[in-house]
Amino acid sequence: MTNELDGVAVFVQVVEAGSFTLAAERLHLTRSAIGKVISRLEARLGVRLLHRTTRSHTLTEAGRVYYDRCVRALAELDAGAAEVESGLSEPRGRLRVSVPIAFGHQCVAPVLFGLARQHPKLQIDISFSDRAVDLIEEHFDLAVRIGDLRDTTRLEARRLGTQHLSIGASASYLAQYGKPVALEDFAGHTGISYSRNGTASAWQVLDADGSERELPITRQLSLDDVQAIADAGIAGLGLVYLPCWLLERHIAAGKLVAVRDLCGPRPLPIHVVWPKTPYLPSKTRCAVNALIADIPKLKLG
Q: How is 186-224 classified by DSSP, letter by letter?
A: GTT-EEEEEEETTEEPP-EEE-TTS-EEE--PEEEEEES
Mean pLDDT, rounded, for 112-125:
95
Task: Specify the pLDDT at position 83.
Answer: 59
How many CA atoms within 13 Å lie on the side-chain side of 192? 25
Q: Give yes or no for residue 1 having a pLDDT over 50.
A: no
Q: Which of 173, 188, 165, 163 is nearest to 262 (CA)?
A: 165
| Contacting residues for 2 by C-beta, under 8 A, at least 6 apart | 44
- Report d(CA 195, CA 222) in Å as an integer: 6
* pLDDT value for 268: 92
Considering only residues 210 and 188, tell me which one the structure prediction assigns the higher pLDDT.
188
CB 265 within 8 A of CB 164: no
Q: Give the model's pLDDT for residue 2.
A: 42
Per-residue model confidence as pLDDT tens digits over 158-187: 999 999 999 999 999 999 999 999 889 999
pLDDT band at 88 (very low <50, low <70, confident <90, very high): low
- Predicted confidence at residue 3, as pLDDT, reads 57
Q: What is the pTM of this model?
A: 0.70
Q: What is the pLDDT of residues 14-30, one digit of tens each?
A: 888 888 888 888 888 88
Q: Write down the pLDDT at residue 154.
A: 85
Residue 34 sits at the vertex; the CA angle it makes with 275 and 132, to the nearest 5 degrees, is: 30
**pLDDT tens for residues 200-229?**
888 999 887 778 899 989 988 999 999 999
Q: Averaged over 77-96, what is the pLDDT?
A: 73
Mean pLDDT along residues 254-267: 91
The proportion of the chain whose per-residue pLDDT surpasses 90, expressed as a percent, equals 51
